[in-house]
Structure formats: structure tokens, C-alpha cells
């Protein structure tokens, strides 16, 4: 009779979950021994648990299926908790398994014994422990189901080795994931349409729940019907093309007063696929106008009216509900209202186009002044990469404060071609790209990160080299924690400090220039080739070298010329942080 080790792998295979991302230890030896004899399961080894979890996170984003992670008891789980928290915040479907010596040793307080479930519970949807071999597969299927059911998220299962060692006769059957394609009754759809129709300044706040439901097209129909500005709130996947006239960026993630500006003048607000607002320092008072009509659509009942009252909350599938709402709006809106919506769309689009063109013109002026021997710039890198990147390439972006200069020239337009960190932890860009490339081996994948984030999970490069995963990596090396500098400028303003009284220098721990980190040499030590862009004239050649190289390749983009943060000379409503994801 097979043991629990074998049956666990058979259950994963039955559910089509044939890749395990892990870092093993002594309490998982039996499972890894069985994996070596089970050809239907692919084990991807990582050298550090935070990198392992983020690699799995990228794989789950790219495939839409739950990723399987194996960690080593309390020490491995503890090291990976920050990355599991990231998966929890972005609602990644993920099953985290951690071994332990055995149930028989509970009374002994043996070496490495710890309450694994208690450790995992705050950052997972569900956490439990197998106590008897007759419930091993039952609990594994439950974990897969919970992870895969919206709102998705990571779950945790502790698997004691003495339970896995025993013979197991549980049947292997595919896991059933409940269908959630729910739709409110027609009267509620009509009520939502009535609240939104006729708005003179409508706003839509969208989140990843729309992507998970496949509701991108339906959201766009509603936005165009209303002529509504569209903002992403803690968005990590593409929902609305960034080139669309109504897309206005993200709400920001740090200070609530900045996010509140997106809805301050709105007379009608539609929220879907997110809660409001995902800020580190959120407003304690409502950011909405007292007379604003607010409709929220989400499969996550907890997210609806979580922090601020709404006028109507619909716990339903975003795709089906937004589709029905778009149809109801088309039937309800008068000719004058439709013409007003079209005029808003044209006006907002013209404003966005003008803003982007002004930014491009400023880039061109600066690059022209600096010349070919000038410093490397993210804007020049973005221009050059846009010229040669294949149309179906995938970007995994964690460039943080540098992303506006990059994506002006590489605006995401296709769902599935762009992933961005929503904040919550650092170090997702490099391992995320490894995971995405594993899911799409035939497509070009480029992962970007900052120098601070890179040092969280640089071990992911070894995994890429070890398995020949042909991902491309870019480290934005500005030799500082630039995001913290921007945050501090906003903090000073929030404390009521006039701009002329801002301290002259940032705190010394915000710079990591002495000694400067040599990311190319570090990459080579982990088996990945690389090159450095130090001046403008090196940009095109190194990008071509990166894309032509057969195998993983890292570019160190020296952005030391951009390490500073502009300080306002007068009071302004603009934030230094902008809408950058924050950690």
C-alpha cells in the first residue's frame, strides 16, 4: 500500500498541480525522496524561502492556478512569511506545505517544534495541520479548494512526517472548486444603474478581483458608458489598457489624503475587485462626497463597505455583474447623457495624452542636453527596450519609483502581458519573472526590481541558472532607498512642515552607496550572465545583448543620477510618492 508521501503527490497530479516550488529540510526528506520517483511532479528548488514563495507567486499569476510551495518547518516558514503576506494581500491562490517531525513528538517539545499553524494563520485564508493519515488528502483538497475560491489567497497545511510515513488508502479524486459566477437579481442591477446614470463626474476604482473573474472587457464597457475616470487600487495585473483615454493611473498606496484626491469631486463611484483604500496610512474619515452615490461589486463580502459606507453593495461575480450593469446603463442613459459621457471621455483622454506628451518632451530635452556620454536614465532605457521587445513579451515590474519613466514608453495594453507588485513586500520582481517564465517558456519575460528589493531575493537567479530558465532581469541601481525618500517628503508635508523648512539631507540609512553593490558580479556568482549600463550610449547595445543571450541574463542599470527626490518649493497637492506601490 502506498504511503502518504505518494498519495499526496498523486492528489496534486490529479488536480493538474504538477510543479512544486520548495526548499527542503530534514522533516521533508521522505516527501522529497518520493518526488524523485514520481515523474509527473516537477520540483523547482530555491535557495531561500522568500524567493521560493515569490517564484511560486509569479507562476500562479501567470497560470491562474494555485501554486504549491514546500517549506521546511518553522525556520523555512518563518523566512517565507513576508512573501506569503504579499501573496495574501494580492490574493494569490497558493498552497503552502511545511513538514515537521511528527505528531508523536508533540509532548516532547522536540528540537524545531513550533506552532506552525499559529505562525501561518495571520497571513493565510486558512491554516491547519494533518493529525491522521485518513484525513491527509481530505485536508489537502480542502486547502486547494479554499485557495482557489474567490477571494483567492494562500493557505497553509502542516504535514507531519510520521503521518506521511504511514500507509494511506484514501481515494484520490479531483478537487471541486465551487462555481462563483453569481449575478444579482435584475432589480438590484437596475438600482445600481440608476445610481450611476447621469453622474457628471463618475469615478471607477478597480482591483485584481476583476482580472481573476475575467471581467476586463465588461469593466471597460461600464467605464465608456459613464465616461468615468478609472483608477487602479492595489492592482497587480492589467485590467484597462494604460493607453485607454479613461485610464488615469493608480490611487497610491501610502498616504490616504493622496488616494482621496481621486474621488474628492466624484458624484458617483463604482468600486469593484478591491477594498477602499489600500493605503499604509489611510484616512480615518470618509474620502467621498456626502452626496456621492457609491456602488461596490465584489465576490469578497468582507471587502464591501469594509472601511467606509457605500450606497449599494453587491456580493457577486464582477464579470457577470459588470456585463449586466453595462447593458442596463446602455438602456437607461438618455441621448444627452450618452453625449455627455462621450465628451468626458474625449476631454479626459486629451488631458492624459497631453500629460504623457509633456513628460516625453521633458525626457527628450534632458537626454538631448546630456548627450550620448550622459548618465544612464530609465526613460532612455524604456525607449530602447520598447523598440526591440516582442509584442507578446511579458513585463514583471517592481521598478517602483522608476516605473513612470519606463512605462511611458512601454504602456501595458494586453491582459496577461504585464504584472506589477501591489506592495506589501520587496523582492518580488526577480523571482516573479522566474515563475512567469516557467509558465510561459516560449515568451520573452523581463523582470525589473530595485537595488533594495533585489537583495531580498537575489537567490532566485540561481534557480534560473540551475534550470536554464531564460528570463531576463533588470536591477534599477539608484544606490538608495529612493521610495523612502519620497515617502519622507510626503510625511514632512503631512506633518504641516512648510517646504522651506524641510531638512536638507535625508537620513543616512536611506542610501546604500558605500560600498556600491556590484550586481553583475553577484549574478555571475549565481550562474547568471550580466552586463552593466553606466552611460546613455551603452543602453541599446546591452539591451540587445540581454535579449540575444541564450539563458538568463541580468542588466544592472546604473540610475545613480536619479537617486534624489525632487522637493517642492511651494505647497502642492502633488505627492512625491505618487502612485508608486509601497512597502
pLDDT exceeds 80 at position 124? yes
Q: Tell me the pairing of strands 94-100 and 67-72.
A: parallel
> What was the pLDDT predicted at 252?
77
In the prediction, which pLDDT does 501 show?
87
Are 137 and 212 in the same domain?
Answer: no
Instruction: Look up the CATH number of the domain holding residue 458.
Output: 3.40.50.970
Write down the residue that cell numbers 518649493 correspond to: 569
pLDDT averaged over the chain?
94
DSSP conformational letter for 517:
P
Q: Is residue 399 part of a domain?
A: yes
Domain boundaries, position 458: 373-562
When divided into structural domains, the chain yields a total of 3
Task: Mark whether 29 and 70 lie in a shared domain.
Answer: yes
pLDDT score at 580: 59
Paired strand residues for 214: none
Q: pLDDT tens digits, residue range 236-260?
A: 999 999 999 999 999 978 888 889 9
466: in domain: yes
Residue at 313 is within a domain: yes
* Cα–Cα distance, 328 to 276 (Å, whole number): 25
- In three-state form (DSSP H/G/I as H, E/B as E, the rest C), the secondary structure along 447-504 is EEEEHHHHHHHCCHHHHHHHHCCCCEEEEEECCECHHHHHHHHHHHHHCCCCHHHCCC
Q: Is the domain of 526 the same as that of 469?
A: yes
Indicate whether 107 belongs to any domain.
Answer: yes
Residue 391, C-alpha cell as written in the block:
509584442
Nearest to 573 by CA among 281, 255, 288, 248: 255
Instruction: Identify the domain boundary among 130, 165, 200.
Output: 165
Secondary structure of residue 109 in the 3-state scheme: coil
Contact 332, 233 (CB under 8 A): no
Question: Are residues 39 and 86 located together in one domain of the fold?
Answer: yes
- pLDDT digit string, tens, across residues 332-359: 999 999 999 999 999 999 999 999 999 9
Whether residues 151 and 206 fall in one domain: no
Any domain includes 498:
yes
Check which CATH number belongs to the domain holding 212 and give it: 3.40.50.1220
Has residue 472 been placed in a domain?
yes
Judge whether 538 lies within some domain: yes
Give the pTM.
0.95
pLDDT for residue 207 is more than 70: yes
Cα separations in angstroms, 25 against 47, 74, 127: 12, 11, 21
Same domain, yes or no: 116 and 230: no
Residue 177, in any domain of the structure: no
Q: Is 289 exposed, middle or buried (0-12, 13-18, 19+ CB in 10 A)?
A: middle
Neighbours of 360 (CB within 10 A): 14
Question: Do residues 341 and 398 share a domain?
Answer: no
Q: Are residues 77 and 222 in the same domain?
A: no
Distance (Å, rounded) from C-alpha 471 to C-alpha 546? 10
Please name the helix (run of DSSP H) or strand (run of DSSP E) that holds residue 154, with its range, or none: strand 154-160
Query: Of 347, 362, 389, which residue is a domain's last?
Result: 347
Q: Are 94 and 123 in a shared domain?
A: yes
Q: How far apart are CA 292 and CA 335, in angstroms?
A: 23
Alpha-carbon distance 109 to 343, whole Å?
70
Same domain, yes or no: 229 and 335? yes
Q: Show the CA angle centred on residue 398, arms to residues 506 and 276, nearest 5°.
A: 85
User: 451 with 509, same domain?
Assistant: yes
Same domain, 194 and 137: no
Amino acid at each position: 500500500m502506498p504511503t502518504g508521501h505518494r498519495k499526496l503527490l498523486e492528489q496534486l497530479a490529479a488536480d493538474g498541480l504538477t510543479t512544486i516550488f520548495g526548499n527542503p529540510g530534514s522533516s521533508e526528506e521522505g516527501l522529497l525522496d518520493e518526488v524523485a520517483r514520481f515523474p509527473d511532479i516537477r520540483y523547482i528548488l530555491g535557495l531561500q524561502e522568500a524567493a521560493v514563495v515569490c517564484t511560486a507567486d509569479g507562476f500562479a499569476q501567470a497560470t491562474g492556478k494555485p501554486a504549491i510551495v514546500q517549506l521546511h518547518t518553522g525556520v523555512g516558514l518563518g523566512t517565507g512569511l513576508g512573501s506569503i503576506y504579499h501573496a495574501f494581500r494580492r490574493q494569490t491562490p497558493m498552497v503552502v506545505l511545511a513538514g515537521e517531525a511528527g505528531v508523536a513528538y508533540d509532548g516532547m517539545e522536540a528540537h524545531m517544534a513550533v506552532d506552525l499553524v499559529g505562525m501561518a494563520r495571520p497571513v493565510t485564508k486558512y491554516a491547519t495541520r494533518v493529525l491522521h493519515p485518513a484525513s491527509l488528502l481530505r485536508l489537502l483538497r480542502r486547502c486547494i479548494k479554499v485557495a482557489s475560491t474567490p477571494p483567492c489567497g494562500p493557505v497553509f497545511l502542516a504535514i507531519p512526517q510520521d503521518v506521511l510515513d504511514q500507509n494511506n488508502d484514501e481515494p484520490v479524486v479531483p478537487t471541486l472548486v465551487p462555481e462563483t459566477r453569481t449575478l444579482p437579481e435584475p432589480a438590484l442591477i437596475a438600482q445600481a444603474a440608476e445610481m450611476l446614470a447621469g453622474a457628471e463626474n463618475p469615478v471607477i476604482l478597480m482591483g485584481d478581483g476583476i482580472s481573476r473573474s475575467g471581467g476586463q472587457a465588461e469593466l471597460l464597457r461600464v467605464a465608456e458608458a459613464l465616461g468615468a475616470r478609472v483608477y487602479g487600487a492595489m492592482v497587480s495585473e492589467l485590467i484597462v489598457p494604460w493607453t485607454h483615454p479613461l485610464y488615469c493611473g493608480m490611487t497610491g498606496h501610502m498616504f490616504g489624503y493622496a488616494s482621496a484626491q481621486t474621488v474628492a469631486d466624484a458624484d458617483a463611484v463604482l468600486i469593484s475587485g478591491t477594498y477602499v483604500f489600500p493605503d499604509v496610512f489611510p484616512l480615518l474619515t470618509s474620502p467621498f462626497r456626502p452626496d456621492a452615490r457609491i456602488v461596490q461589486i465584489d465576490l469578497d463580502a468582507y471587502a464591501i463597505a469594509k472601511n467606509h459606507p457605500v450606497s449599494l453593495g453587491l456580493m457577486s461575480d464582477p464579470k457577470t455583474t459588470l456585463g449586466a450593469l453595462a447593458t442596463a446603463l446602455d438602456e437607461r442613459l438618455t441621448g444627452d447623457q450618452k453625449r455627455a459621457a462621450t465628451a468626458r471621455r474625449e476631454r479626459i483622454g486629451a488631458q492624459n495624452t497631453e500629460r504623457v506628451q509633456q513628460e516625453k518632451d521633458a525626457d527628450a530635452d534632458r537626454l538631448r542636453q546630456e548627450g550620448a556620454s550622459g548618465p544612464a536614465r530609465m526613460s532612455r532605457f524604456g525607449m530602447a527596450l520598447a523598440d526591440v521587445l516582442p509584442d507578446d513579451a511579458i513585463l514583471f515590474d517592481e521598478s517602483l519609483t522608476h516605473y513612470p519613466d519606463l512605462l511611458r514608453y512601454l504602456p501595458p495594453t494586453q491582459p496577461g502581458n504585464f504584472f506589477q507588485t501591489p506592495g506589501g513586500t520587496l523582492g518580488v520582481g526577480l523571482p516573479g519573472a522566474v515563475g512567469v517564465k516557467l509558465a510561459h517558456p516560449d515568451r520573452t519575460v523581463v523582470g525589473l526590481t530595485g537595488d533594495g528589493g533585489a537583495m531580498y531575493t537575489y537567490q532566485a537567479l540561481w534557480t534560473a541558472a540551475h534550470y536554464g530558465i531564460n528570463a531576463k532581469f533588470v536591477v534599477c541601481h539608484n544606490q538608495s532607498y529612493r521610495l523612502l525618500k519620497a515617502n519622507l517628503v510626503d510625511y514632512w508635508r503631512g506633518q504641516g512642515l512648510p517646504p522651506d523648512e524641510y531638512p536638507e539631507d535625508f537620513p543616512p540609512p536611506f542610501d546604500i552607496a558605500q560600498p556600491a553593490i556590484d550586481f553583475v558580479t553577484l549574478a555571475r556568482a549565481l550562474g547568471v550572465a550580466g552586463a552593466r549600463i553606466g552611460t546613455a550610449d551603452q543602453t541599446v547595445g546591452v539591451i540587445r545583448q540581454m535579449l540575444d543571450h541564450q539563458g538568463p541574463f541580468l542588466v544592472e542599470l546604473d540610475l545613480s543620477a536619479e537617486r534624489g527626490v525632487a522637493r517642492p518649493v511651494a505647497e502642492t497637492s502633488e505627492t512625491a510618492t505618487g502612485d508608486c506601490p509601497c512597502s
